[in-house]
Copies of this chain bind each other. A is one copy, B any other.
Amino acid sequence: MSRRTVRTICALALALIAAACSRPGPGGSGEVRAAIENLRETGLARERAYAFLERITSAGPRLTGSAQAAAAVEVTRQIMEELGFERVHTEPVEVGHWVRGDVERAVLAAPPSGTAVPLAVCALGGSVGTPAAGLTAPVIEVRSLDEVASLGEAVKGRIVFYNRPMDRRTPEPFAAYGAAADQRVGGASAAARQGAVAVLVRSLTFRTDRYPHTGMLRYDPGAPRIPAAAVSTSDADLLSALLKKEQEVSVTLRLDCRDEGRVVSANVVGELTGSERPDEIVLVGGHLDSWDLGTGAHDDAAGCAAALEAVALLKDIGARPRRTVRAVLFMDEEFGGTGGRAYAASALRAGERHLVAAESDRGGFVPVGLAVGGREAGARTRVAAYADLLRPLGVSFIVPGGGGVDVAPLIQGGAVPAAVMVNAQPYFDVHHSALDVASSVHPRELELQAVILAALAHILAQEGI
């Protein structure tokens, strides 16, 4: 081999290094690039996603099985019809129907001042009620389910007060939430097994205020069902301070929440049918149901609005990708995902293949990146070819990930999960509380999310995974 050949090999290697390491230049198809530019111009010129969000939240708090949830099904089906979505339909789902009732009160039964001091509480989703007159018991503060188990007899006849805050030092709020949520989800049954009569759980938020934050609990089949309420962080601090000073602090708790059996609700489905492979589906979705203290604006009218706007924008610019882009607004994410399971089962029956499942359920906040999952990096690579167009919209990274309660069955069936990642710092300020209303959503931040979702769906529906 000549020295010239060696030099050529070396030069080639260096060129390869340079090519592989340089900032990726514009890649991907020119047609898709033009479409993404067009989506940006069309989307940002107004804030239509927010208008959809307002129409959804105007239906009210959309607890699974409620009249408001049914109204939201009708509102969004109508939006899809107005926008000219194709194959618009609702898909029946049998769901539970828990109601909060009219009374949720907690009062310090024998406060040092001698006067009744109310605590800001709300029933946890799925909780049983108390007797009508309420129940009164001394409070015992704990930090974990393990601590309750270790306390044994000491818990008997008491109200267990779970007071482990979300760890502020964890930068990522979802991680801090995940590490604290076991108290809310499993705290009641863990306490009931030791003979507790009720539980109070510190609200899951970084903020110190008087808004209680609700959320689902799960009763273990083997444990008695005892009432469970969230207490605001401000009142949790007050109660904790009092417990340090007083020998015994008792609370009277009254909840008249209850289960009202099963009813029929629905997912809402509409699409832009693929031009070449209509049965290969890129799903964009959110969930229509919400908690009932606010109107579920960030959680998850925002996700539904982003999905509606993503498909609407593709129609606006006259796009018709090869594969189907379908908006699915799921019912019953908050009480366990029956809508997601029903949808996956019907897709299986219809012989549809879901390539991508992109659920938006992280709030309507400003986009910061994309998560595109899947065992192979194919879909991620396709999207990354458009990084230069997505970056100005706020996409600063593209990492593996995505997923959500409603799309989990599709992902188990082989769909690639995907999601627009957003700033989560303020999410738990409003999450599951009275603060989760339309005015807490920034119209332009939500629109950016919808534009990126439209671009993501277009890339993957056009180019595959």
Contacts and interface: CB of A to CB of B under 8 A. Distances in A.
B425 A171 contact: no
What class of interface size applies to chain A in its complex with B?
A: 35 or more
B46 A172 contact: no
Contact of A171 (B9, B21, B170, B392): B392
A404 to B, nearest CB: 22
B13 A9 contact: yes
Q: How many copies does the complex hold?
A: 2
A40 B169 contact: yes
Contacts of A397: 396-397
A424 to B, nearest CB: 9
Contacts of A169: 40-41, 44-45
Contacts of A35: none
Identify which of A1, A396, A397, A429 gathers the most chain B CB atoms within 10 Å of its CB.
A396
Contacts of A394: 171, 368, 423
Contacts of A425: 366, 442, 444-445, 448
Interface string A32-44: 0000000011001
A21 B24 CA distance: 12
B168 A44 contact: yes
Interface in A168-204: 168-172
Given A366-B423, A366-B425, A369-B396, A168 B46 contact: yes
Nearest to A423: B366
Contacts of A17: 13, 16-17, 20-21
B448 A426 contact: no
Contacts of A20: 17, 20-21
B9 A1 contact: no
A133 interface: no
Contacts of A44: 168-171
B444 A206 contact: yes
A14 B17 CA distance: 8
A10 interface: yes
Contacts of A46: 168
Contacts of A9: 6, 9-10, 13
A253 interface: no
A172 to B, nearest CB: 6
Contact of A368 (B16, B171, B396): B396
A45 B423 CA distance: 19
Which among A45, A46, A423 has the greatest number of chain B C-beta atoms within 10 A? Answer: A423
B10 A171 contact: no
A393 interface: yes
A169 B448 CA distance: 10
A388 to B, nearest CB: 13
Contacts of A426: 442, 444-445
A249 to B, nearest CB: 27
Contact of A45 (B12, B168, B369): B168
A170 B44 CA distance: 8
Nearest to A20: B21
A348 B169 CA distance: 41
Interface in A377-413: 392-394, 396-397
A452 to B, nearest CB: 10
Nearest to A369: B396
Interface string A102-123: 0000000000000000000000
A433 to B, nearest CB: 16
A429 B9 CA distance: 57
Given A397-B397, A425-B444, A425-B445, 12 more contacts: A1-B3, A9-B10, A16-B17, A20-B21, A40-B171, A45-B169, A46-B168, A366-B366, A396-B397, A423-B423, A425-B442, A426-B442
